[in-house]
Amino acid sequence: MGSREQLLNDIGIVSFVLVDLGLYLDTHPFDRNAMEYFNHYNRIKHQMVKEFSMKYYPLTMDMAESNKEWRWGAAPLPWEGACG
Amino acid sequence: MQDYKYDNNIDKFPVAMAYVPWQRFEKMFDDLEKAYHIGTIFPELDKPFTGRRCV
């Protein structure tokens, strides 16, 4: 796996961790320990998405700030193999 | 919500109802890639379906 695929894979994993922590927090809204875990992984995810978007292509529209070329439009499409 | 301990208060529970023990966050899987494949980050919720019995 190349570093682009590896980073995308890791973003998928940390996103899953956040979904599962979110489900737990939905039923345990005062569990501060779980909230600390959520905050920790949320910060990591933001860093990873930002890193990916700067190195390769924006994953979300809010990461699509561009100068010379509209980067959002230049990103590979799912049927071009961008999803793995 | 009143948090009865199942062990000590079983006689206080109304009959004919189903109860789900309350989950407590203790630890996550150390290997998050493994957790991703299992489908949960909580070791206590790792309940693979064998088609025959509970694990």
Give pLDDT tens digits along chain A (84 positions). Answer: 679 999 999 999 999 999 999 999 999 999 999 999 999 999 999 999 999 999 999 999 999 999 999 999 888 888 887 665
Q: Please, what is the angle between helix A3-27 and helix A32-55, to 10°?
A: 150
Of B36, A10, A16, the C-alpha closest to A24 is: A16
Model confidence at B1, in pLDDT bands (50, 70, 90)?
very low
Domain map (residue ranges) of chain A: 3-73
B36 within some domain: yes
Cβ distance of B35 and A17 shorter than 8 Å: yes
Query: In B, residues 27-46, which contact A (CB 8 Å cutoff)?
Result: 28, 32-33, 35-36, 40-42
> Is B2 within the bounds of a domain?
no
* Residue whose structure tokens are 């933001």: A46
Q: What is the ipTM of this complex?
A: 0.80
Q: In this structure, is residue B19 part of a structural domain?
A: no
Tell me if B54 is assigned to some domain.
yes
pLDDT at B38: 96
> Which residues of A, range 14-43, sit inside 8 Å of B by Cβ?
14, 16-17, 20-21, 24, 27-28, 31, 33-34, 37
CB A61 within 8 A of CB A72: yes
Asked if the C-beta of A70 comes within 8 angstroms of chain B's C-beta atoms, the answer is no
In a domain, B40, yes or no: yes
Q: Measured between CB atoms, which of A20, A27, A28 is closest to B41?
A: A20
Q: Is residue B10 part of a domain?
A: no
- The answer to the question of residue B37 being in a domain is yes
Range of the domain at B51: 28-55
The answer as to whether B55 is a domain residue is yes
Q: What is the pTM of this model?
A: 0.82
- Residue B4: pLDDT over 70: no
